[in-house]
Structure 1
Amino acid sequence: MPRQLHSIDRIFLDMETPDNSMGITPLYFYDPSGLANGTFNIEALLEHIDQCVRSIPVLCGKLHRTPLDLDNPYLVEDKNYEVNNHVTHYVLKDSSSIKDLSNAITQYQERTLDTSKPLWDAMVISGINIKTLPKDCFLIALKIHHAVADGMTLMNLTAKLHGQIEIGAPVKLASNSSLLSGGLLGMASRVFANNLKQSIQLVNPLLKVAPRLSVNAINYFFDNLNKSNEPVAQTRFAGNVTPKRVWGYTPLAIEPLNRVRKLLPSCSLNDVLLTVIAGALREYLESKNELPDVAMRAMAPINVRSEGEVGAAGNEISMMSLSLPVEIADPMERLVEVIKFTSNAKEQQLKLGSRNVSELAKNLPAAYLSYMNKIVSSSSANKMVSKLGNTVVTNVPGPKEELNMLGARLINMAGIGPVSDGVGLLHGVMSYNGNMVVNVVSCPSMIPDIKFYIQCLKNSYESLLQAADARYSNLVSEELSQALINETH
């Protein structure tokens, strides 16, 4: 049976333009000293990557699209697949230059994937000699189209690359000819049947979600009847993105963040992270004289995989809108406001059921998506998206212990992902081996000084830790308990 993308996957495919790559790219930094003879070997690396890719259906298949895109695309066998056609070995002009390394990564991310081939490629950079990295460090940038992978898919691939999960046997996909065997009539019948099936499958989640949506809408109206309207802050990130990208990252130690988390009831590590990001945005926008007087919003993808779908490929996500109270100067007061908003958002998600919302999106009929693509202009879509949030914040839990590949120690993980018109700023967070790495992606017209913004993240992190220590360090346990209760009520 041919493997078919669902409608969330299809949306990510349709979002890509020649100027806007929808690739998600984990970056793996390695110490080569543990390799055979302590030497980097591109042939051995290619063979290992090839084995991993051949065991993952969404990576070894190419797209087959139907006429007029009236059905969601299929993944079929690529008889011409060769790993050498997907991996580029790159050597920096200046092996000690952070700027050269960053430029190589952003230029790589800017290029869209060739959709006539399996939807991934990789760039390997060897012989990196930046002071903060081991001698002759090498990097793998592994770009995969968002149409076939989300953050959890990447973590599954990461586990295979580093021996945490058995690679498994090569998969066999249906051939392109099997989809064409019935001729035009057979194709038309399949398109009709699939759209009908999606419409039927839409009924169950719709019946679960629609009544709850109505009740929640009524409750929201009465709850906010006497409150002022709270618009989404208008910022420089709401415009159209350019083809160029800027990227930067900073590791934040998790243990101090966990100390702050334990101070306040109902506080999560994500709440602390959002507070750090809000503080960084406050400092950055204030330096541009653009600080809004209302909270910004973060669009946060939610993993909705069941226990049996942990290793599933594709996109199994819902979306939540969270607060970034940049208008609040005090870091701890900012954290309290984040907790209040997040608790309410989680409650709403619980009532709706994140899985139900995801199933609704996954089963939107393909013909409807094709129709909407034709009638909704890019500017209208931009305005709709910008009303949902100012930035996307993703948080993908990674391995807690140090990994190695073929003997090479994985010293750091980072990542770079897509931005889009209307939401031109991405905070991609990955955790690995005791650190939480915050990656920032935008375009130069929105963040022309990415190093300064990364410094703003570091400043916000330190300010939050200092504020927590200053507020609670002198209180005895009983006083502390009462103070924490008062903070969140």
Structure 2
Amino acid sequence: MNKLSGQDALFLHVDRPHASSHGTMIYIYDQSTVSGQRLGFREIVRHIESRLDPTSVQRRKIVQVPFGLGYPYWVEDDLFDIDFHVRHFALPKPGDWRQFCILLSRIHARSVDLSRSPWEMYVIEGLDNIEGIPKGSFAIITKTHHAAMDGTAAAEFTWALHDLAGAQGKPIAVADKQEQANTPCHSRRITDTLTRMVIDNVSASARMAAPLTRVLPKLATFGLRRLAQSLWSSEGGVPRTRFNANVSAKRVWDSVTLDLATVKLIKGTVPGATINDAVLAMIGGAMRRYLQAKDELPEKSLVSMAPVNTRQEGAERTTNTISILRFPLGTDMEDPLERLQAVQLATAECKAIQNAIGAHELTNLQKFTPPATLGLAGRLATLTGGGGKGPVLLHNCMVTNVPGPNTELYLLGAKLVHWGGMGPLADGMSLIWNPTSYCGKMFISLTSSPNIVSDPDFLARCLLDSYEEMSEAARQMTPPIPATKVLSKRRKQGPGKPRQVRTPA
């Protein structure tokens, strides 16, 4: 694809010097499975370079049209140099988890260089003193601007880097090569660019007509009032918390590892609940504990925003094809299984709304937005934070789930043992959770700003406590909660007495 869609371009418009729209994947490898000597940096670089072909964006850069009056487009990166994009770091002794979190936070905080192909990789050695990670392990960090690919496309790029059975395994293709992948894409002349600006704005308006004609009757049938109620609760909307303040240019990160079978046991206590519902309820419990410890827990439930993949079969895989849903996290409920049931009912309602209107049609409206409108939308999107005083508040955090395979993956014979993520922050949205799953484990990572979450290890501990509480409740809950059970009345007098929480050492 030579041109970015409206949805891709929007991520460029919301970029700010202190809050760039890029995502990061974290992979940790056990070198004990490598036959012979340990892997060297140059060997890893050659392997990465050999796997770049399936996605053309890895060798191209983005050119923006003056004043944002046309869609940005892809051109060949004449300065492409694999050594610029893949860099080598090592943790100092003792090589522990705290040092790893700090280094990742610093890497993620820096913006991607958009004058080149919008991605970077870091090979990090010296992971010698991390619980649950074999000594001598190394990590690979991939950082890509969101305009180039969404989370699903980034996960598919993960498959391209790995083998199924070590050095002798067959590589998992991220996608069949598109014919356009080998089509030259050179820089345009200024006259071509000006012509393109006019065509983009006129044609985009025309292309929006088809999805609009399909969406508007559905809105009328479904009921705008019901839709508005789902977005803005009659109980008074979304509570404002510390997570709705402006972010700094620094980042903090942490991650916890959970047993996927236990997460499935938890979701099985409520008929119709999904793994994602269990994760949302777990995160709701963690945020409840964290805010209780700060004496900041609001009476109303916090609300999460979640991107949902709407890519259809056979569609281009390196573009953004997502829709956004909102889910309450049940932070106003102390009982963990009652919280899970409330989350399940809410997510089912949100999915009903999405299905009634058509998630793919809503995504197309974003893709075909005229370029001149995108710049204004990007500026307005960054005003909702307003230092915690913005006029509109629709969410308190984001949860973006990227499910992985249940098959062991290898890179040059080194076994993948940990897979995490880091997401983009913005003013007004200073906390993002990135759940990923792989080989019977679930990894839930959190990304925030140090002026918002100065103690990410404590927030991670709150998540583990929430998981343990829900696990214990699930084991004691036989049979599962009946589907017809009515939720107990929510407490109106306040959040109640805080549960005991463990503070960081």
Question: Would you call these one fold, judging by a TM-score over 0.5?
Answer: yes
Change (3 A) 1:379 1:219: closer
- Where 2:24 maps in the other structure, the secondary structure is strand
Q: 1:471 to 1:378 in 2, by over 3 A?
A: closer
Could you tell me whether the CA contact under 8 Å between 1:199 and 1:364 is conserved in 2? Answer: yes
Correspondent of 1:341 among 327, 338, 346? 346
Match of 1:240 among 231, 237, 246: 246
* SS of alignment partner, residue 283 of structure 1: helix
Q: In the alignment, which of 280, 283, 291 is matched to residue 277 of structure 1?
A: 283
Which deviates more, 444-453 or 36-45?
Answer: 36-45
Deviation at 1:187, TM superposition (A): 2.4
How far the C-alpha of 1:305 sits from its partner, in A, is 0.9
Q: Report the counterpart of residue 212 of structure 1 in structure 2.
A: 218
How far residue 391 of structure 1 moved from its aligned partner, in angstroms, is 0.5
Are the counterparts in 2 of residues 87 and 122 from structure 1 also a CA contact under 8 Å? yes
- The answer to which of 194-203 and 94-103 deviates more is 94-103
Residues 283 and 463 in structure 2, CA contact (< 8 A), matched pair in contact too: yes
| 1:69-468 matches, cutoff 5 A | 69-132=68-131, 133-163=133-163, 164-166=171-173, 171-177=181-187, 179-180=188-189, 183-184=190-191, 186-220=192-226, 228-309=234-315, 312-373=317-378, 376=380, 378-380=382-384, 382=386, 387-468=393-474
Equivalents in 2 of 1:222, 1:203: separation in Å? Answer: 23
Range with bigger deviation, 251-260 or 356-365:
251-260
Task: Tell me the distance in 2 between the aligned counterparts of 1:230 and 1:55.
Answer: 48
Letter in structure 1 aligned against 2:482 = L
Alpha-carbon separation, structure 2, partners of 1:255 and 1:208: 41
CA displacement at 1:371 relative to structure 2: 4.3
Q: Residues 110 and 261 (structure 1 numbering): CA distance in 2 closer, same or farther, change over 3 Å?
A: same
Shift of 1:222: 11
Counterpart code for 1:411: V
Q: Is the 1:126–1:138 Cα contact (8 Å) retained in structure 2?
A: yes
Work out the CA distance in 2 between the residues paired with 1:287 and 1:370.
Answer: 40
Range 114-123 or range 92-101, more displaced: 92-101
8 Å contact from structure 1 (residues 3, 173) kept in 2: no
After TM superposition, give the deviation of residue 246 of structure 1 in Å.
Answer: 0.7
The answer to whether the 8 A contact 1:58-1:314 is kept is: no
Is the contact between residue 294 and residue 326 of structure 1 (CA under 8 Å) also seen in structure 2? yes
Change (3 A) 1:222 1:322: closer
In structure 1, how many angstroms separate the alpha carbons of the residues matched to 2:413 and 2:455?
37
SS of equivalent to 2:483: helix
Query: Of 475, 480, 483, which residue of structure 2 is paired with 1:485?
Result: 483
TM-score normalized by the length of structure 2:
0.88
Pair 1:469-2:475 in alignment: yes
Residue in 2 that maps onto 1:476: none
Deviations 1:122-163 (A, max 9, x none): 111113202422121110001011111111111111111003
Which residue matches 1:475?
Answer: none
Residue 107 of structure 1: how far off its partner (Å): 0.4
Q: Offset at 1:380?
A: 4.6
**Counterparts of 2:391 and 2:36 in 1: how far apart (Å)?**
52
Q: Equivalents in 1 of 2:65, 2:313: separation in Å?
A: 33
Q: Is the 8 A contact 1:113 1:120 kept in 2?
A: yes
Say whether the 8 Å CA contact 1:64–1:176 is kept in structure 2: no
Contact 2:127/2:138 (<8 A) preserved: yes
Distance 1:201 1:396 in 2: 30
State whether residues 250 and 454 of structure 1, in contact with CA within 8 Å, keep that contact through their aligned partners in structure 2.
yes
**Ranges in structure 1 where 5+ consecutive residues have no aligned partner:** 473-479
Contact 1:403 1:410 in 2 (8 A): yes
Mapped partners of 1:281, 1:272: distance in 2: 14
> Hey, what's the Cα distance between the residues in 2 that align with 1:158 and 1:129?
24
Residue 223 and residue 371 in structure 1: after superposition, are their counterparts in 2 closer, same or farther (change >3 A)? closer
Aligned identity (percent) is: 31
Displacement of 1:221 after TM fit? 8.3
Whether the 8 Å CA contact 2:255–2:420 is kept in 1: the answer is: yes
- 1:23 maps onto 2:33 in alignment: no
Q: Distance in 2 between matches of 1:169 and 1:81?
A: 20
Task: For 1:162, give the aligned amino acid.
Answer: H
* 89-98 or 252-261, which deviates more: 89-98
Q: Which moved more, 1:277-286 or 1:213-222?
A: 213-222
1:423–1:35 distance in 2 versus 1, CA, 3 Å:
same
SS at match of 1:265: coil
Question: Post-superposition shift, 1:217?
Answer: 4.0
Partner in structure 1 of residue 492 of structure 2: none
Look up the match of 1:41: 40
Structure 1 residue 379, shift from structure 2 partner: 3.2
Offset of 1:82 from its aligned partner?
1.0
Q: CA offset at residue 61 of structure 1?
A: 0.4
- Tell me the equivalent position of 1:6: 5
- Conserved? CA contact 2:14–2:378, under 8 Å: no
Contact (CA 8 Å) 1:386, 1:422: kept in 2 or not?
no
Could you list the per-position Cα deviations for residues 395-451 of structure 1 after superposition, in whole angstroms to 9, with x for gaps in the alignment? Answer: 111111111011111111111121111111001111111111111000111111111
1:291–1:199: structure 2 CA closer, same or farther, 3 Å change rule? same
Equivalent pairs counted in the alignment come to: 472
Equivalent residue for 2:501?
none
CA RMSD of aligned residues (A): 2.3
Query: 2:390 and 2:438 mapped to 1: Cα distance?
Result: 35
Say whether the 8 Å CA contact 2:22–2:424 is kept in structure 1: yes
Are the counterparts in 1 of residues 270 and 340 from structure 2 also a CA contact under 8 Å? no
* CA deviation profile, 1:429-486 (whole Å, cap 9, x unmatched): 11111111111000111111111110100110111121223342xxxxxxx37x5133
TM-score (normalizing by structure 1): 0.91
CA distance, structure 2, for counterparts of residue 464 and residue 149 of structure 1: 34
CA distance in 2, matches of 1:420, 1:136: 36
SS for the counterpart of 1:191 is helix
Question: Alpha-carbon deviation of 1:392?
Answer: 0.4
Give the 3 Å change call, closer, same or farther, for CA 95–51 of structure 1 in structure 2: farther
Between the aligned partners of 1:378 and 1:357, the Cα distance in structure 2 is 21
Letter in 2 for 1:143: K
The SS at the match of 2:465 is helix
Report the 3-state secondary structure (helix = DSSP H, G, I; strand = E; otherwise coil) of the residue aligned with 2:219.
helix
8 Å contact kept, 1:298–1:391: yes
Letter in 2 for 1:435: K
SS of alignment partner, residue 28 of structure 2: strand
- Show structure 2 runs of 5+ residues with no match: 164-170, 488-505
